[in-house]
Structure 1
Amino acid sequence: MVDDGARIRTARPGDDGVGVIAMLGGAENYLTVFLLRELANALHELAADPDCGAIVVRAEGKHFCAGRDWRTIRDPEDTAEAIYACAPQLIDVAKPWVAELTGGSIGVGLGVAMCADHRVAAETAYLWPKFVGIGIHHGFGLTATLTETVGRQRATELLSTGRKVSMLEAERIGLVDRVARLEDVSTASVEFAALLAAQPREALAAIRGTMRAPLLASFEDASRHERAAQERLYRSADFQSATDGGYRYTATGD
Structure 2
Amino acid sequence: MTDKVDFTGVKWGSTEWTMLGTLYLRACESRLEHPVLGDRAAAEAVDRIDYDFDRMGRWTNSWSNQFLVALRAKQLDDWAGDFLERHPDAVVLHLGCGLDSRAFRLDLPSGVDWFDVDVPEVIELRREIFSEREHYRMIGSSVTEPGWLDDIPSDRPALVIAEGLFMYLTESDVRQLLQRLTDRFGSGELLFDALPRWTSTISGLVRWGTRNAWGTRDARELERWNPRLKYVSTGVMDVDAIPLKPQRLLFQLVYRIPAARNYDTLYRFRF
Same-fold call, TM cutoff 0.5: no
| TM norm structure 1 | 0.30
User: Using CA pairs below 8 Å that are at least 6 residues apart, which structure has the higher relative contact order?
Assistant: 1
| TM norm structure 2 | 0.29
